[in-house]
Amino acid sequence: MKISRVITLAVLAAFAGVLATGAPQAQTKEPIKVGLIQPLSGPIAAAGSYITNGAKIAVERINAKGGVLGRPLELIIEDNKSDPAETRNAAEKLIVRDKVPVIIGAWGSSMTLAMMPLAAQHGIPLVVETSSSSKITDPKTPGQKVVSRISPTSELEAVGAGALIPSLGMKKIGYLAVNTDWGRGAVAAFGEAFKKNGATVEAVEYVGQADTDFYAQLTKFKAAGVDSVVITDDAPKAAKMLQQMKELGLNVKVLVTGGSAWPDSIVQLAGAKAAEGAMFINFYNPYDPAMAGDAEASKAYVEDWKKKGLPWIGVVEGMRGFDAVYVVAKAIEMAKEPTAPKIMTALKTLESRGLYGLNKFDQNGQSYCNIIVTQVKDGKYSVVAITPSSSSGRCLPPSSGGPASCVTRGGRPLGRPPSFAHARRARPAHRQRPDRGWRLCPHGDRPHPHLRHHASGQLRPRRVLHDGGVLSSSLSSVCGA
Protein backbone atom coordinates (compact mmCIF):
# COMPACT_ATOMS: atom_id res chain seq x y z
CA MET A 1 0.00 0.00 0.00
CA LYS A 2 2.84 2.32 0.95
CA ILE A 3 4.78 1.38 -2.23
CA SER A 4 1.69 1.96 -4.36
CA ARG A 5 1.22 5.38 -2.82
CA VAL A 6 4.86 6.28 -3.47
CA ILE A 7 4.56 5.21 -7.11
CA THR A 8 1.33 7.22 -7.51
CA LEU A 9 2.94 10.34 -6.08
CA ALA A 10 5.95 9.88 -8.34
CA VAL A 11 3.73 9.58 -11.42
CA LEU A 12 1.77 12.66 -10.41
CA ALA A 13 4.99 14.56 -9.80
CA ALA A 14 6.34 13.55 -13.20
CA PHE A 15 3.07 14.55 -14.90
CA ALA A 16 3.14 17.88 -13.07
CA GLY A 17 6.70 18.34 -14.28
CA VAL A 18 5.62 17.79 -17.87
CA LEU A 19 2.85 20.38 -17.48
CA ALA A 20 5.26 22.77 -15.82
CA THR A 21 7.82 22.51 -18.61
CA GLY A 22 5.12 22.71 -21.28
CA ALA A 23 3.43 25.81 -19.89
CA PRO A 24 6.37 28.21 -20.18
CA GLN A 25 7.01 27.06 -23.75
CA ALA A 26 3.44 28.02 -24.68
CA GLN A 27 3.80 31.32 -22.87
CA THR A 28 7.17 32.22 -24.37
CA LYS A 29 5.35 33.41 -27.51
CA GLU A 30 4.40 36.73 -26.01
CA PRO A 31 2.00 38.78 -28.09
CA ILE A 32 3.25 41.60 -30.27
CA LYS A 33 1.54 44.76 -29.07
CA VAL A 34 -0.03 47.16 -31.57
CA GLY A 35 -1.37 50.48 -30.32
CA LEU A 36 -4.73 51.68 -31.63
CA ILE A 37 -6.09 55.15 -30.84
CA GLN A 38 -9.67 55.95 -31.87
CA PRO A 39 -12.53 58.22 -30.78
CA LEU A 40 -14.58 55.75 -28.71
CA SER A 41 -16.48 58.49 -26.89
CA GLY A 42 -17.45 62.01 -27.86
CA PRO A 43 -19.25 63.24 -31.01
CA ILE A 44 -17.58 60.85 -33.46
CA ALA A 45 -17.53 57.74 -31.29
CA ALA A 46 -19.51 55.68 -33.82
CA ALA A 47 -16.77 56.04 -36.45
CA GLY A 48 -14.08 55.09 -33.95
CA SER A 49 -15.97 51.99 -32.85
CA TYR A 50 -16.38 50.84 -36.47
CA ILE A 51 -12.66 51.19 -37.14
CA THR A 52 -11.82 49.39 -33.90
CA ASN A 53 -14.09 46.50 -34.88
CA GLY A 54 -12.46 46.33 -38.31
CA ALA A 55 -9.05 46.17 -36.65
CA LYS A 56 -10.22 43.40 -34.31
CA ILE A 57 -11.45 41.33 -37.27
CA ALA A 58 -8.01 41.64 -38.89
CA VAL A 59 -6.21 40.63 -35.68
CA GLU A 60 -8.47 37.61 -35.22
CA ARG A 61 -7.84 36.45 -38.79
CA ILE A 62 -4.08 36.94 -38.52
CA ASN A 63 -3.86 35.14 -35.17
CA ALA A 64 -5.99 32.26 -36.45
CA LYS A 65 -3.29 31.66 -39.06
CA GLY A 66 -0.44 31.64 -36.56
CA GLY A 67 0.10 35.33 -35.97
CA VAL A 68 3.20 37.19 -37.14
CA LEU A 69 6.68 35.74 -36.67
CA GLY A 70 4.96 32.90 -34.82
CA ARG A 71 3.52 35.31 -32.24
CA PRO A 72 -0.05 36.59 -31.83
CA LEU A 73 -0.90 40.24 -32.32
CA GLU A 74 -2.51 42.10 -29.41
CA LEU A 75 -4.36 45.38 -29.88
CA ILE A 76 -3.85 47.88 -27.07
CA ILE A 77 -6.84 50.17 -27.58
CA GLU A 78 -7.06 53.74 -26.30
CA ASP A 79 -9.94 56.23 -26.48
CA ASN A 80 -8.93 59.73 -27.58
CA LYS A 81 -12.41 61.05 -26.69
CA SER A 82 -12.55 62.92 -30.02
CA ASP A 83 -10.01 65.38 -28.62
CA PRO A 84 -6.45 66.26 -29.76
CA ALA A 85 -5.05 66.68 -26.22
CA GLU A 86 -6.48 63.31 -25.18
CA THR A 87 -4.93 61.78 -28.30
CA ARG A 88 -1.49 62.91 -27.24
CA ASN A 89 -2.09 61.52 -23.75
CA ALA A 90 -3.19 58.19 -25.20
CA ALA A 91 -0.10 58.04 -27.41
CA GLU A 92 2.17 58.78 -24.45
CA LYS A 93 0.57 55.98 -22.45
CA LEU A 94 0.99 53.50 -25.31
CA ILE A 95 4.61 54.47 -25.90
CA VAL A 96 5.89 54.90 -22.33
CA ARG A 97 3.82 52.40 -20.34
CA ASP A 98 2.71 49.78 -22.86
CA LYS A 99 5.88 50.07 -24.94
CA VAL A 100 4.15 49.43 -28.26
CA PRO A 101 6.46 49.46 -31.31
CA VAL A 102 3.80 50.92 -33.64
CA ILE A 103 0.57 52.92 -33.36
CA ILE A 104 -2.51 53.08 -35.63
CA GLY A 105 -4.64 56.22 -35.40
CA ALA A 106 -6.24 58.56 -34.72
CA TRP A 107 -9.28 59.18 -37.02
CA GLY A 108 -9.42 63.01 -37.07
CA SER A 109 -6.61 65.03 -38.63
CA SER A 110 -6.32 67.39 -35.64
CA MET A 111 -5.99 64.35 -33.37
CA THR A 112 -3.35 62.71 -35.52
CA LEU A 113 -1.35 65.94 -35.81
CA ALA A 114 -1.41 66.27 -32.01
CA MET A 115 0.39 62.96 -31.43
CA MET A 116 2.88 63.08 -34.31
CA PRO A 117 5.66 65.08 -32.54
CA LEU A 118 5.57 62.75 -29.54
CA ALA A 119 5.73 59.65 -31.72
CA ALA A 120 8.65 61.12 -33.65
CA GLN A 121 10.44 61.98 -30.40
CA HIS A 122 10.31 58.30 -29.39
CA GLY A 123 10.85 56.94 -32.91
CA ILE A 124 7.48 55.14 -33.02
CA PRO A 125 5.95 54.63 -36.49
CA LEU A 126 2.37 55.81 -37.03
CA VAL A 127 0.05 54.13 -39.52
CA VAL A 128 -2.66 56.70 -40.25
CA GLU A 129 -5.90 55.01 -41.27
CA THR A 130 -8.38 57.89 -41.74
CA SER A 131 -7.01 61.43 -41.37
CA SER A 132 -6.86 63.43 -44.61
CA SER A 133 -5.19 66.76 -43.86
CA SER A 134 -2.26 67.39 -46.20
CA LYS A 135 -0.26 68.65 -43.20
CA ILE A 136 0.16 65.07 -41.97
CA THR A 137 2.46 64.07 -44.83
CA ASP A 138 4.00 67.50 -45.32
CA PRO A 139 7.77 67.28 -44.55
CA LYS A 140 7.49 70.65 -42.78
CA THR A 141 5.07 69.25 -40.20
CA PRO A 142 6.64 68.13 -36.88
CA GLY A 143 6.55 64.33 -36.71
CA GLN A 144 5.89 63.72 -40.41
CA LYS A 145 8.91 61.44 -40.72
CA VAL A 146 7.22 58.64 -38.71
CA VAL A 147 3.95 58.69 -40.69
CA SER A 148 2.70 56.07 -43.16
CA ARG A 149 -0.80 57.04 -44.28
CA ILE A 150 -3.13 54.63 -46.08
CA SER A 151 -6.05 57.08 -46.30
CA PRO A 152 -6.03 59.71 -49.07
CA THR A 153 -5.52 63.42 -48.58
CA SER A 154 -8.38 65.79 -49.33
CA GLU A 155 -6.32 66.89 -52.35
CA LEU A 156 -6.37 63.35 -53.75
CA GLU A 157 -10.12 63.15 -53.20
CA ALA A 158 -10.58 66.49 -54.96
CA VAL A 159 -8.45 65.45 -57.92
CA GLY A 160 -10.33 62.18 -58.23
CA ALA A 161 -13.78 63.76 -58.10
CA GLY A 162 -13.01 67.11 -59.73
CA ALA A 163 -13.37 65.88 -63.28
CA LEU A 164 -16.99 64.93 -62.60
CA ILE A 165 -18.01 68.51 -61.83
CA PRO A 166 -18.80 69.66 -65.40
CA SER A 167 -20.81 66.54 -66.26
CA LEU A 168 -22.83 66.88 -63.06
CA GLY A 169 -23.68 70.50 -63.74
CA MET A 170 -22.25 71.73 -60.44
CA LYS A 171 -21.57 75.44 -61.00
CA LYS A 172 -22.53 77.42 -57.89
CA ILE A 173 -21.48 75.59 -54.73
CA GLY A 174 -22.16 76.07 -51.04
CA TYR A 175 -19.58 74.30 -48.84
CA LEU A 176 -20.48 73.05 -45.35
CA ALA A 177 -17.52 71.66 -43.38
CA VAL A 178 -16.55 70.71 -39.84
CA ASN A 179 -14.23 73.30 -38.29
CA THR A 180 -11.15 71.08 -37.91
CA ASP A 181 -7.91 70.55 -39.83
CA TRP A 182 -9.82 67.99 -41.90
CA GLY A 183 -12.67 70.34 -42.81
CA ARG A 184 -10.54 73.41 -43.45
CA GLY A 185 -8.09 71.42 -45.57
CA ALA A 186 -10.92 69.90 -47.61
CA VAL A 187 -12.45 73.31 -48.34
CA ALA A 188 -9.11 74.54 -49.70
CA ALA A 189 -8.46 71.40 -51.77
CA PHE A 190 -11.94 71.07 -53.26
CA GLY A 191 -12.21 74.81 -53.83
CA GLU A 192 -9.17 74.63 -56.10
CA ALA A 193 -10.53 71.56 -57.93
CA PHE A 194 -13.93 73.22 -58.46
CA LYS A 195 -12.30 76.35 -59.84
CA LYS A 196 -10.25 74.33 -62.33
CA ASN A 197 -13.41 72.60 -63.52
CA GLY A 198 -15.51 75.71 -64.04
CA ALA A 199 -17.39 75.88 -60.73
CA THR A 200 -17.31 78.55 -58.03
CA VAL A 201 -17.73 78.25 -54.26
CA GLU A 202 -20.33 80.89 -53.45
CA ALA A 203 -20.29 80.42 -49.68
CA VAL A 204 -18.38 78.45 -47.03
CA GLU A 205 -19.84 77.67 -43.62
CA TYR A 206 -17.99 75.86 -40.81
CA VAL A 207 -19.72 73.91 -38.02
CA GLY A 208 -18.59 72.48 -34.70
CA GLN A 209 -18.00 68.77 -34.12
CA ALA A 210 -21.01 68.47 -31.81
CA ASP A 211 -23.40 70.74 -33.77
CA THR A 212 -26.78 69.37 -34.85
CA ASP A 213 -28.59 72.49 -36.11
CA PHE A 214 -27.57 73.63 -39.61
CA TYR A 215 -30.65 75.63 -40.63
CA ALA A 216 -28.87 78.99 -40.50
CA GLN A 217 -26.03 77.89 -42.77
CA LEU A 218 -28.34 76.14 -45.22
CA THR A 219 -30.66 79.16 -45.36
CA LYS A 220 -27.66 81.28 -46.43
CA PHE A 221 -26.93 78.79 -49.22
CA LYS A 222 -30.55 78.97 -50.40
CA ALA A 223 -30.41 82.77 -50.44
CA ALA A 224 -27.14 82.64 -52.43
CA GLY A 225 -28.84 80.55 -55.12
CA VAL A 226 -26.40 77.64 -55.02
CA ASP A 227 -27.11 74.65 -57.27
CA SER A 228 -24.92 72.27 -55.24
CA VAL A 229 -23.85 71.67 -51.64
CA VAL A 230 -20.60 69.94 -50.72
CA ILE A 231 -20.28 68.50 -47.21
CA THR A 232 -17.16 67.48 -45.31
CA ASP A 233 -18.22 65.88 -42.03
CA ASP A 234 -19.00 62.53 -40.43
CA ALA A 235 -21.97 60.40 -41.47
CA PRO A 236 -24.46 61.24 -38.66
CA LYS A 237 -24.02 64.98 -39.19
CA ALA A 238 -24.15 64.67 -42.98
CA ALA A 239 -27.46 62.83 -42.55
CA LYS A 240 -28.80 65.66 -40.35
CA MET A 241 -27.75 68.21 -42.96
CA LEU A 242 -29.60 66.33 -45.70
CA GLN A 243 -32.74 66.09 -43.57
CA GLN A 244 -32.66 69.82 -42.88
CA MET A 245 -32.04 70.62 -46.56
CA LYS A 246 -35.18 68.63 -47.37
CA GLU A 247 -37.17 70.56 -44.77
CA LEU A 248 -35.98 73.90 -46.17
CA GLY A 249 -36.76 72.91 -49.74
CA LEU A 250 -33.11 73.24 -50.74
CA ASN A 251 -33.25 70.85 -53.67
CA VAL A 252 -29.71 70.82 -55.01
CA LYS A 253 -26.98 68.36 -55.93
CA VAL A 254 -25.05 67.06 -52.91
CA LEU A 255 -21.52 65.65 -52.66
CA VAL A 256 -20.22 64.35 -49.31
CA THR A 257 -16.44 64.00 -49.05
CA GLY A 258 -14.16 62.11 -46.65
CA GLY A 259 -15.17 58.49 -47.13
CA SER A 260 -17.04 58.02 -43.84
CA ALA A 261 -20.56 58.64 -45.18
CA TRP A 262 -21.83 56.29 -47.88
CA PRO A 263 -25.24 55.52 -49.45
CA ASP A 264 -26.29 52.76 -47.05
CA SER A 265 -25.41 54.72 -43.91
CA ILE A 266 -27.13 57.91 -45.08
CA VAL A 267 -30.29 56.12 -46.24
CA GLN A 268 -30.54 54.56 -42.77
CA LEU A 269 -29.68 57.73 -40.85
CA ALA A 270 -31.48 60.35 -42.95
CA GLY A 271 -34.20 58.33 -44.63
CA ALA A 272 -34.44 57.40 -48.30
CA LYS A 273 -36.25 60.61 -49.37
CA ALA A 274 -33.69 62.97 -47.84
CA ALA A 275 -30.78 60.84 -49.09
CA GLU A 276 -32.01 60.34 -52.67
CA GLY A 277 -29.52 61.56 -55.27
CA ALA A 278 -26.78 62.41 -52.77
CA MET A 279 -23.26 61.47 -53.88
CA PHE A 280 -20.34 60.37 -51.74
CA ILE A 281 -16.59 59.99 -52.07
CA ASN A 282 -15.69 56.54 -50.76
CA PHE A 283 -12.65 54.29 -50.87
CA TYR A 284 -14.21 50.85 -50.61
CA ASN A 285 -17.22 49.02 -52.06
CA PRO A 286 -18.35 46.18 -49.75
CA TYR A 287 -20.69 44.82 -52.42
CA ASP A 288 -18.00 44.21 -55.02
CA PRO A 289 -14.80 42.44 -53.88
CA ALA A 290 -13.25 42.94 -57.34
CA MET A 291 -12.95 46.68 -56.67
CA ALA A 292 -10.66 46.10 -53.68
CA GLY A 293 -6.95 45.45 -54.00
CA ASP A 294 -7.46 42.00 -52.45
CA ALA A 295 -10.79 40.45 -53.43
CA GLU A 296 -10.48 37.47 -51.08
CA ALA A 297 -9.69 39.71 -48.11
CA SER A 298 -12.70 41.85 -48.97
CA LYS A 299 -15.01 38.83 -49.03
CA ALA A 300 -13.64 37.55 -45.72
CA TYR A 301 -13.92 40.96 -44.06
CA VAL A 302 -17.56 41.44 -45.08
CA GLU A 303 -18.44 37.89 -44.01
CA ASP A 304 -16.85 38.39 -40.59
CA TRP A 305 -18.53 41.78 -40.16
CA LYS A 306 -21.92 40.17 -40.81
CA LYS A 307 -21.21 37.13 -38.61
CA LYS A 308 -20.43 39.39 -35.68
CA GLY A 309 -23.72 41.23 -36.16
CA LEU A 310 -21.95 44.59 -36.43
CA PRO A 311 -23.91 47.57 -37.81
CA TRP A 312 -23.87 47.33 -41.60
CA ILE A 313 -23.66 51.11 -41.92
CA GLY A 314 -20.18 50.93 -40.34
CA VAL A 315 -18.64 48.37 -42.72
CA VAL A 316 -17.08 51.02 -45.00
CA GLU A 317 -15.53 52.82 -42.03
CA GLY A 318 -14.40 49.61 -40.37
CA MET A 319 -12.29 48.62 -43.35
CA ARG A 320 -9.82 51.36 -42.41
CA GLY A 321 -8.90 49.52 -39.22
CA PHE A 322 -8.81 46.19 -41.06
CA ASP A 323 -6.35 47.45 -43.68
CA ALA A 324 -4.20 49.28 -41.12
CA VAL A 325 -3.67 46.11 -39.08
CA TYR A 326 -2.70 44.12 -42.16
CA VAL A 327 -0.23 46.82 -43.16
CA VAL A 328 1.32 46.69 -39.69
CA ALA A 329 1.44 42.88 -39.77
CA LYS A 330 3.15 42.90 -43.17
CA ALA A 331 5.69 45.47 -41.93
CA ILE A 332 6.51 43.38 -38.84
CA GLU A 333 6.91 40.30 -41.00
CA MET A 334 9.27 42.18 -43.34
CA ALA A 335 11.19 43.62 -40.35
CA LYS A 336 11.73 40.10 -38.93
CA GLU A 337 11.47 41.58 -35.44
CA PRO A 338 8.81 43.75 -33.77
CA THR A 339 10.92 46.79 -33.00
CA ALA A 340 10.01 50.36 -33.92
CA PRO A 341 13.11 51.16 -36.05
CA LYS A 342 12.80 47.94 -38.06
CA ILE A 343 9.05 48.38 -38.58
CA MET A 344 9.55 51.97 -39.74
CA THR A 345 12.18 50.88 -42.25
CA ALA A 346 9.94 48.09 -43.54
CA LEU A 347 7.01 50.47 -44.06
CA LYS A 348 9.07 52.53 -46.50
CA THR A 349 9.28 49.67 -49.01
CA LEU A 350 6.08 47.82 -48.14
CA GLU A 351 3.50 46.86 -50.75
CA SER A 352 0.29 45.39 -49.39
CA ARG A 353 -2.90 44.80 -51.33
CA GLY A 354 -5.92 45.42 -49.18
CA LEU A 355 -9.41 46.89 -49.16
CA TYR A 356 -8.16 50.41 -49.89
CA GLY A 357 -6.38 49.14 -53.03
CA LEU A 358 -2.61 48.94 -53.13
CA ASN A 359 -1.01 50.24 -49.93
CA LYS A 360 2.41 51.54 -50.96
CA PHE A 361 4.02 54.68 -49.57
CA ASP A 362 5.83 57.47 -51.37
CA GLN A 363 8.81 59.37 -49.93
CA ASN A 364 6.47 61.43 -47.73
CA GLY A 365 4.65 58.41 -46.34
CA GLN A 366 1.51 58.76 -48.49
CA SER A 367 -0.28 55.84 -50.13
CA TYR A 368 -2.74 56.22 -53.02
CA CYS A 369 -6.02 54.37 -52.58
CA ASN A 370 -9.01 53.74 -54.80
CA ILE A 371 -11.44 56.67 -54.85
CA ILE A 372 -15.03 55.69 -55.61
CA VAL A 373 -17.88 58.15 -56.20
CA THR A 374 -21.15 56.54 -55.08
CA GLN A 375 -24.76 57.70 -55.06
CA VAL A 376 -28.15 56.94 -53.55
CA LYS A 377 -30.23 55.94 -56.55
CA ASP A 378 -33.84 54.82 -56.00
CA GLY A 379 -32.95 54.39 -52.35
CA LYS A 380 -30.07 52.01 -53.08
CA TYR A 381 -26.29 51.98 -53.41
CA SER A 382 -24.91 52.71 -56.86
CA VAL A 383 -21.45 53.50 -58.21
CA VAL A 384 -20.97 56.64 -60.29
CA ALA A 385 -17.26 56.42 -61.10
CA ILE A 386 -13.90 55.20 -59.85
CA THR A 387 -10.39 56.59 -60.02
CA PRO A 388 -7.48 54.28 -59.21
CA SER A 389 -5.10 53.58 -56.44
CA SER A 390 -1.45 53.70 -57.43
CA SER A 391 -1.12 50.25 -58.87
CA SER A 392 1.59 47.74 -59.34
CA GLY A 393 4.55 48.93 -61.38
CA ARG A 394 3.17 51.04 -64.13
CA CYS A 395 1.04 53.58 -62.29
CA LEU A 396 3.11 54.78 -59.37
CA PRO A 397 3.15 58.15 -57.62
CA PRO A 398 5.69 60.47 -59.29
CA SER A 399 8.67 61.71 -57.34
CA SER A 400 6.91 65.02 -56.71
CA GLY A 401 4.61 63.19 -54.32
CA GLY A 402 1.44 63.70 -56.35
CA PRO A 403 -0.80 60.99 -57.80
CA ALA A 404 0.03 59.42 -61.13
CA SER A 405 -2.60 58.90 -63.77
CA CYS A 406 -3.64 55.29 -64.13
CA VAL A 407 -4.08 56.04 -67.81
CA THR A 408 -0.58 55.98 -69.28
CA ARG A 409 1.14 56.26 -72.60
CA GLY A 410 3.70 53.58 -73.26
CA GLY A 411 3.53 52.56 -69.61
CA ARG A 412 4.73 55.99 -68.41
CA PRO A 413 2.64 58.28 -66.21
CA LEU A 414 1.44 61.36 -68.07
CA GLY A 415 2.29 63.65 -65.20
CA ARG A 416 -1.28 64.71 -64.64
CA PRO A 417 -3.72 63.46 -62.00
CA PRO A 418 -6.23 60.69 -62.65
CA SER A 419 -9.38 61.83 -64.37
CA PHE A 420 -12.55 60.00 -65.22
CA ALA A 421 -12.70 61.87 -68.54
CA HIS A 422 -9.22 60.67 -69.57
CA ALA A 423 -10.24 57.03 -69.36
CA ARG A 424 -12.85 57.50 -72.05
CA ARG A 425 -10.06 57.77 -74.59
CA ALA A 426 -8.90 54.24 -73.81
CA ARG A 427 -8.38 51.90 -76.73
CA PRO A 428 -9.83 48.39 -76.63
CA ALA A 429 -7.36 45.79 -75.40
CA HIS A 430 -6.81 44.27 -78.85
CA ARG A 431 -5.77 47.70 -80.20
CA GLN A 432 -3.37 48.63 -77.42
CA ARG A 433 0.26 49.05 -78.39
CA PRO A 434 3.20 48.89 -75.99
CA ASP A 435 4.76 52.12 -77.18
CA ARG A 436 1.73 54.22 -78.14
CA GLY A 437 -1.92 54.65 -77.34
CA TRP A 438 -3.77 54.76 -74.06
CA ARG A 439 -3.62 51.95 -71.58
CA LEU A 440 -5.73 51.32 -68.52
CA CYS A 441 -4.15 49.33 -65.74
CA PRO A 442 -6.69 47.57 -63.57
CA HIS A 443 -5.71 43.95 -62.91
CA GLY A 444 -2.49 44.26 -64.91
CA ASP A 445 -3.50 45.11 -68.47
CA ARG A 446 -6.97 43.57 -68.26
CA PRO A 447 -10.00 45.84 -67.97
CA HIS A 448 -12.03 45.60 -64.80
CA PRO A 449 -14.65 42.81 -64.97
CA HIS A 450 -17.41 45.40 -64.71
CA LEU A 451 -16.28 47.12 -67.92
CA ARG A 452 -16.81 45.97 -71.48
CA HIS A 453 -15.31 47.15 -74.74
CA HIS A 454 -17.73 49.18 -76.84
CA ALA A 455 -17.69 49.60 -80.62
CA SER A 456 -16.81 53.27 -80.11
CA GLY A 457 -13.49 52.27 -78.53
CA GLN A 458 -14.65 53.25 -75.05
CA LEU A 459 -14.74 51.08 -71.97
CA ARG A 460 -18.34 51.03 -70.77
CA PRO A 461 -19.88 49.40 -67.71
CA ARG A 462 -21.72 46.15 -67.69
CA ARG A 463 -24.96 46.22 -65.73
CA VAL A 464 -24.11 44.32 -62.58
CA LEU A 465 -26.75 43.43 -60.03
CA HIS A 466 -25.76 42.96 -56.41
CA ASP A 467 -27.21 43.37 -52.93
CA GLY A 468 -26.74 47.10 -53.06
CA GLY A 469 -28.46 47.73 -56.37
CA VAL A 470 -27.19 48.33 -59.89
CA LEU A 471 -23.76 49.54 -60.86
CA SER A 472 -24.63 52.90 -62.36
CA SER A 473 -24.44 53.31 -66.12
CA SER A 474 -22.49 56.54 -65.61
CA LEU A 475 -19.40 54.65 -64.40
CA SER A 476 -16.60 55.85 -66.62
CA SER A 477 -13.49 53.90 -65.64
CA VAL A 478 -11.98 51.50 -63.17
CA CYS A 479 -8.22 51.26 -62.62
CA GLY A 480 -7.10 49.77 -59.39
CA ALA A 481 -5.37 46.46 -59.16
What are 203-215's pLDDT values in tens digits?
999 999 999 999 9
**Are 47 and 142 found together in one domain?**
yes
**Are 340 and 399 found together in one domain?**
no
pLDDT digits (tens, 9 = 90+) for 303-346: 999 999 999 999 999 999 999 999 999 999 999 999 999 999 99
Query: Does some domain include residue 231?
Result: yes
Query: Does some domain include residue 480?
Result: no
pLDDT value of residue 169 = 87
Query: Does some domain include residue 219?
Result: yes
pLDDT digits (tens, 9 = 90+) for 411-452: 223 233 333 333 333 333 333 333 332 222 333 333 334 334
**Are 140 and 170 found together in one domain?**
no
Question: What range defines the domain where residue 302 resides?
Answer: 32-152+292-356
pLDDT value of residue 389 = 63
CATH number at 80 reads: 3.40.50.2300
Query: Does some domain include residue 11?
Result: no
Q: Interior CA angle at 399 toward 122 and 356, to 5°?
A: 70
Query: Does some domain include residue 3?
Result: no
Nearest to 281 by CA among 426, 417, 193, 384: 384
Query: Does some domain include residue 163?
Result: yes
Lowest mean pLDDT among 40-49, 57-66, 432-441: 432-441
Lowest mean pLDDT among 11-20, 132-141, 291-300, 423-432: 423-432
pLDDT at 124 over 60: yes
417 φ, ψ to 5°? Answer: -70, 160
pLDDT value of residue 133 = 94
* pTM for this model (two decimals): 0.77
**Are 118 and 223 found together in one domain?**
no
pLDDT greater at residue 24 or residue 259: 259
**Would you put residue 368 in left (φ > 0), alpha (ψ -120 to 50) or beta?**
beta
pLDDT at 261 over 70: yes
Lowest mean pLDDT among 62-66, 116-120, 195-199, 449-453: 449-453
pLDDT value of residue 29 = 87
**Are 96 and 131 found together in one domain?**
yes
Query: Does some domain include residue 249?
Result: yes
**Are 219 and 278 found together in one domain?**
yes
**Are 267 and 307 found together in one domain?**
no
pLDDT digits (tens, 9 = 90+) for 150-166: 999 999 999 878 878 88
Distance CA 400, CA 458 (A): 31
pLDDT greater at residue 45 or residue 389: 45
pLDDT at 37 over 90: yes
**Are 228 and 259 found together in one domain?**
yes
Query: Does some domain include residue 479?
Result: no
Q: What total of structural domains would you count in the chain?
A: 3
Q: What is the mean pLDDT of the chain?
A: 81
Average the pLDDT over 220-231 and give the result.
Answer: 97
- Amino acid occupying residue 264: D
Average the pLDDT over 61-68 and give the result.
Answer: 98
**Are 160 and 147 found together in one domain?**
no
Q: Interior CA angle at 402 toward 396 and 406, to 5°?
A: 40
Q: Interior CA angle at 293 toward 280 and 375, to 5°?
A: 15
**Are 52 and 136 found together in one domain?**
yes
**Are 160 and 277 found together in one domain?**
yes
pLDDT greater at residue 456 or residue 372: 372
Lowest mean pLDDT among 11-20, 148-157, 280-289: 11-20
**Are 162 and 141 found together in one domain?**
no
